[in-house]
Amino acid sequence: MKLRIVKTFIFGCAMAGVLNISISTTCFAKEVASTSTMNTSSVAETVTDEEYKAASAYLTGNYFSLSDGKIMYFEGIDSNTMNALIKAFNSGYANYVLNSSGVYYRIANSDYTHIYAFNTRAEARNCDISNAIAVYTSKEISGDVIAKVSAADAAYLINVKKWAYAQNYGVSVTTIDNILSLIITDGMTDFDKVTAINNYLCSTISYDYSLQRNTCYDAIYNGKSVCQGYANAFYMLANSAGVETEFVIGTAGGAEHSFNRCLINGEYYYVDVTWNDAMNNAYLLMSYDVISATHTVNSINDMTYMY
Alpha helices by DSSP H, listed for the chain, are 49-60, 79-91, 121-126, 143-151, 154-168, 173-183, 190-204, 216-217, 227-240, 273-279, 288-291
Instruction: Tell how strand 206-207 and strand 224-225 pair up.
Output: parallel
Question: H or E stretch including 223?
Answer: none
Q: What is the CA radius of gyration of the chain?
A: 21
Tell me the CATH number of domain 2-33+170-301, given options 3.90.320.10, 3.10.620.30, 3.40.50.720, 3.40.50.10360: 3.10.620.30
Q: What are phi and psi of 149, to 5 degrees?
A: -60, -45
Rounded CA gap, 95 and 86, in Å? Answer: 9
Predicted confidence (pLDDT) per residue in 125-162, tens digit: 888 888 887 666 566 666 666 566 556 666 767 777 78
Domain positions in the chain are 2-33+170-301, 41-146
List the pLDDT tens digit at each of the 307 positions of the chain.
323 322 222 334 554 433 222 222 233 322 322 333 334 333 334 556 666 666 666 665 666 665 565 666 666 666 677 777 767 766 665 677 887 677 888 877 655 567 788 888 888 888 888 888 766 656 666 666 656 655 666 676 777 778 778 777 889 889 999 999 999 999 999 999 999 999 999 999 999 999 999 999 999 999 999 999 999 999 999 999 999 999 999 999 999 999 999 999 999 999 999 999 999 999 999 999 999 999 999 999 876 654 4
